[in-house]
Structure 1
Amino acid sequence: GEQQRVEIIKALYHGADILILDEPTSVLTPQETKELFKIIKRMRDEGKGIIFITHKLDEVFEVADRVTVMRRGKVVGTLKASETTKEELARMMVGREVLFRLEKEPVERGKPVLEVENLHALNDRGLPAVRGVSLKVHEGEIFGIAGVAGNGQRELAEVIVGLRKATAGRILIDGVDVTNKSPRFIASRGVAHIPEERLRHGIVPNLSVAENLILKDYYKEPYRRGLLLDHSKVVEDAERLINKFDIVTPSPLTPAKLLSGGNIQRLICARELHKEPRLIVAAHPTYGLDVGATEYIRKILLEQRKRGAAVLLISEDLEEVLQLSDRVGVMFNGEIVGIVRPEKVAIEEIGLMMAGAKRMAREEMAS
């Protein structure tokens, strides 16, 4: 939040009359977001022009006077914020009605699938990023992780799925210790991973849609034929998954990099979820997606919860975390500083924990 204010001050110091803010609240706590909005409104009242780019419709109505909607690189229309609704803007964005509140059916929680015990890990610079994290995620439960970006969420997800080494602690999947095992071994235990950066870590951009759909299984029957792949079987199964997950692509042989962001995410979901995994680690699964694709991904996560999967949901969208999760762990400086039930906590309290201003005692954390 302080860095955000510094950037605004720098722009004003250089005499800027127009300020362009691109998703500025993604790294802010709820309290810092409110302060940013006050600054924006004050700048507007002083005669400055602000272009505010966001996919969060609530923010549009909080700060905007006029709203321009874009879809597939083209302007769909411009409206006065006071004369439109969230529903109308969403319809303009995706061309159909969108559900903003998804039904989260009661599901009986089962036994723990993921158990993380006193986990420690370093970031890419060799500095502590995960500091003594302990948590459990049960069958039929979505456990959300809330926190400002850069507080160890990415490293936590990568350690759990085998992409980063733990320096201390244990990770158990269905009681089996998988600490520092290979990604392939962990995947074989029924773990699915929807990664934070879908283009860098979720697909191989130059491979076809069909080839990307078998990245976890290409070395096994029925796809392997000696040293070669059975391409007819690869394409046959790809067509089935394309239809099941409604992936919009010209052909199973189309390079995955040519798909839209929403369809790349559908591809990843198809690959990771079609075998009904025991644990799903979903890191920022709706980031950068339009409201239609966001609705689809959230529905899928709730369906997996209903099926009995355990879901670890990591997101910087606090509204998303609170709407989907059964319990929410708040991370600050690499630690879990609180575990709460969304229906029993005020958003201001979560904001204080995200900023490091409040910490729950262990016996207060929701189990």
Structure 2
Amino acid sequence: MKKKISTLLLLILICGSFSIYAQQIIPASKFEIQGRLFENTPKFHRVDTLKYRELPAAVKKLYTHATGMFVTFKSNTSKLSLRWKTVDAELGNNSTPIMSRGFDVYVREATGWCFAGVARPDLKNAESKAILVEDMATTEKEFLLYFPLYKELADFDVIIDEKASFVATRQYFNKTVVVYGSSIVHGASASRPGLAYTAQLGRRLNANVINMGVSGNARMESEVADMLSDIGSIDLIIMDCVPNSSPEEVKERTFNFVARLRKSHPKVPILLIESITRQISNYNLKWKARLIEQNKNFRLQYEKLLQAGYKDLYYLPTDHLIGDDSEGTVDGTHPTDVGFERMLKIIGAKVEAIL
């Protein structure tokens, strides 16, 4: 009998705080999903892939990721927990589990959004439970919850104190910026979702920065340009897609991509950003030659667009984007948090000047 009681107590302890405090479960349906281009997009996808069926297959799959999306709400809860499910539990070899499959949360202060905690995913199972932050004062706070960057999110529940208040909120931004790009835009390799440079840029500018990164597949296809052309009112388009495009694709597709965007957005500024200087090219001569050719062709196409009479085009070279000490990436290509901070200083200043 004593052994059975001991076993029961052990199970209770293993279950943790999810089973020993009174809870109020707020399902995903109670929130307004923010941070994506189009209303009425199914599930937690960035794009309705059935509507845009002509997109390349890899691009469609990546646009099912919840990258860049978030919810905001107000509550006086003392503890904030999360229960969620992604389509699988696989992890990339150059990313943290929190960035790929987890969440992070911020609290609004007078000076802006302040980081409060993370939800660490289960490393083996697609379903996870985690406490983001606990032992808070029971004053009302507004929370900002960023979604996982590298997974399709199936569902989530926010868990708060049983008698805590809850009000879903929506953010109203000064500007809307759309960023189309590679895995670097997608978020690799930030340590958590809120540190992707698009998320940081949004908080810095109080702007609705839409992350349209497609890891390894930002190749300026006409179908992608046509999809982006369906966007409503926006204030800036950023093209940070050179890293994924071969030198030949940069030469052949840049002009057409911008021209297609211009048909529906004739006066919206477009910022073209060169590929970051990949640090793997320090000694790899093949990568070095590729990088030089990519960026050279991109600049030539930018100049060709200007000569053709296209207005409101801006250009940002690779210079100093991730610093000059070769310490800004996790693998020679994808920025660490340090690399993203350096990028943000340069890109943020440029975007502020344009807007």
TM-score, normalised relative to structure 2: 0.23
The structure, 1 or 2, with the larger RCO (C-alpha pairs under 8 Å, 6+ apart) is 1
TM-score, normalised relative to structure 1: 0.23
